[in-house]
Structure 1
Amino acid sequence: MTRDLQRDAEDDVRVRPNRRGSRPRTKHRPEHVSAIPGMVLVVDRGRYDVLLDDGPRVRAMKARELGRAAIVVGDRVDVVGDTSGAPDTLARVVRVHERATTLRRSADDTDDAVERVLVANADQLVVVTALADPEPRPRMVDRCLAAAFDARMDALLCLTKADLADPAPFAAQYAALDVPALATVIRQGTIEGIEALRERLTGRVSVLIGHSGVGKSTLVNALVPEALRDTGGVNEVTGRGRHTSSSAVALALPEGGWVIDTPGVRGFGLAHIQPDDLIRAFADLDDVAEACPRGCTHAADAPDCALDAWVASGAAGAAGEARLSSFRRLLASREGNES
């Protein structure tokens, strides 16, 4: 074959007009200056219910340019396309705003590379736990509080079924952490204590989290009557609650604010939380810890930890010693899954 003929043959192989994907890539992306901001209320199998700031609630998909970036309940996003909210219409989420807070959990306690973002932009975590039936699990509560403090969120304990056990001893375990607690009980079809909870939630974006069977969905239905969240009991054999909610959902409170109901949890990995990140949530302990040696874990067995010297000197006082003990309990909750 002559050189000219060979060149012609190679040209035939290289040129593929109208071939799919032959369009040159570009780094330029649409600015979407007319995009409408809103809040993600529900995430459902690749579709997002978004309440737009100007009123309509729309169903949307994620724009291709966002790639694999996760969008979660509570995210502030920008939406383009059909934003009428009419049935069978689909808009597009083209931007996700920077998050003020991010509530996360790891896949487990050993793999810090796999994190799951649960909720964005909430400012309060409400840990709901029953005082009995099912039995309370302080270790799980500790894990939830550690995640809240790491996310720089306020925390609140809501103790249900207070007719079955005295809430005071359980609440006392968290007094040194300045975590307020309130108790509820159902009597004659009404929930005593619901107004105190409502007052704590009004005007805020609060996440409710807890084991299945603790009464979380019952509380949500009382706070937002139109929510109609499924409720379930406790398995008599295992003593565990039955899952009733399969996905998180943000619900508007009649008095103002939002409550985000989450599925019942049975594990909460904290591999993503580092000791220095957690202690920053405790300004008094963080100030003392500045004198710790580099790499100090601040745990009870950490050599030359300044926190121990602080307590030993008497400068911490009884309250400071209790606070350090509680903080170290949260640190210890990072190790191993709760069974």
Structure 2
Amino acid sequence: MVRRSIRDWDESDVRIRPNRRGSRPRTKDRPRHEDAVPARVVSVDRGRWRTVLLEPDANVRAVTAMRARELGRSPIVPGDVVALVGDTSGRDGTLARIVRIQERTSFLRRSADDDDTSERPLVANVDTMAIVTALADPEPRGGMVDRCLVAATVAGIRPLLVLTKADLRAPEEFLRSYAPLGVEHVVTRRHDDGEIAGLAALRDILAGRTTVLVGHSGVGKSTLLNALVPGADRATGAVNDVTGRGRHTSSSALAMPLPQGGWVIDTPGVRSFGLGHVRAEELLDAFTDLAVLAEECPRGCSHLADAPDCALDAQVAQGAAGSAGPARLASYRRLAEALRRNDPWEA
């Protein structure tokens, strides 16, 4: 072997490694994936999506999938209808890819708190929000119900009040606050033998719908779900004797088909339902009972407690148009003040 002097080298002896980033022409055209199959997302777990195929001529089977790179960071939530490619056999160890998200009919979101404008997507393509509230143990919280009603209205979802534990307290007083809204409701109570009265009525309402269950921990969501979907086996928990609050039993949202048709999506019990993603001007529309009364206010009225010539106080005090009363007005104003702090034009 003849050793060459460095002076004998020239540019032809240097091997240039091609730039991988520029080695392939870039294009904005995305693959069509015409062979993709439709599926519904039923749960999400650490970057993997559990789906159920929706092909009418296919055997019902669950398929685990990952997000395709072209989707970026687009949120994919339970209830989403997606398109899958790759191995859709559902066998252990197989993984399909989600390449498209079908246009949603609704998209339910919340924030950690009212002053947090970052959105937390919950579920998609639901037409009913079942707001599950215990009449006692834990005590009912109208503020939570009001927040859920606002979120449902903004998302275009029909609300349903599901009142549990009527064996501990009668529902009439609580329902009186929401009577002016005409919100659909069902009341359940548990008998000594463990049977749940009102369950048949709830089944009839949910049949054929896609419903999300929302509520505080300990209000009985998992108990209802186990009764509605045989084999659901969602863990149930008790209420803390010291704090009066329920313990979290469900850690992730889960969509399940109902035996009578339709879907129900159970969500983890929440301590609060932040509305930081809601615009201040959308709020009054969600309080339909107050929106009617606000027509008597002067133009540009903020409807807050310090608003000059605001007509809401007098009209609510008089019970005008079947108004729900001071509690609803106070709830609206608490939310309105928080949302205006998020808006630099209103602050």
Please report the TM-score for the alignment, with normalisation by the length of structure 1: 0.84
Question: In the alignment, which residue of structure 2 is the partner of 1:93?
Answer: 98
| Cα shift readout 1:93-150 (whole Å, capped 9, x = no counterpart) | 00112211111111321122x1011111111111111111111111111111111111
1:117 to 121, 128, 137: 121
Matched, 1:318 2:320: yes
Q: Kindly report which structure 2 residues correspond to 1:257-296, keeping only aligned pairs within 5 A, or say none.
A: 257-281=262-286, 285=291, 293=299, 296=301
Checking the alignment, whether the CA contact within 8 Å between 1:78 and 1:95 is kept in structure 2 is yes
Q: Secondary structure at the match of 2:231?
A: helix
Q: CA deviation at 1:330?
A: 3.9
RMSD of aligned alpha carbons: 3.2
Confirm or deny: 8 A CA contact 1:248 1:260 kept in the other structure: yes
Gaps of 5+ in 2: 1-6, 340-347
- Structure 1 residue runs of 5 or longer lacking an equivalent are none
Matches within 5 A, 1:23-34: 23-34=24-35
Say whether the 8 Å CA contact 2:293–2:315 is kept in structure 1. no
Note the 1:4-15 alignment, pairs <5 A.
Answer: 15=16
- Displacement, 1:304? 6.1
Any residues of structure 2 matched to 1:189-228 within 5 Å, and which?
189-228=194-233
- 2: distance between equivalents of 1:303 and 1:39? 51
Aligned residue for 1:226, secondary structure, equals coil
2:106 alignment partner AA: T
Q: How far, CA to CA, are the matches of 1:246 and 1:97 in structure 2? A: 26
Number of the residue aligned with 2:61: 56
Partner residue in 2 for 1:47: 48
**Residue 77 of structure 1 is aligned with which of 58, 78, 82?**
82
Amino acid at match of 1:171: L
CA distance in 1 between partners of 2:293 and 2:17 (Å): 66
- How far apart are residue 19 of structure 1 and its match? 4.6
Identity of aligned residues (%): 57
Q: Are the equivalent residues in 2 in contact too, given 1:275–1:331 (CA < 8 A)?
A: no
What is the aligned length? 323
CA shift, 1:252, in A, is: 0.5
Which residue pairs with 1:151 in the alignment?
155
Any conservation in 1 of the 2:287–2:332 contact (CA below 8 Å)? no
Superposition pairs for residues 231-246 of structure 1, below 5 Å?
231-246=236-251
2:51–2:64 contact (8 Å) kept in structure 1? yes
2:28 partner letter: K
Alpha-carbon spacing, 1:327–1:52, altered in 2? closer, same or farther (3 Å): farther
Measure how far apart 1:309 and its partner are. Answer: 11
1:36 Cα deviation from its structure 2 partner: 1.1
Find the residue that maps to 2:88 and give its secondary structure.
Answer: coil
Q: Partner letter of residue 180 of structure 1?
A: E
1:128 pairs with 2:132: yes
User: Deviation at 1:239?
Assistant: 1.6
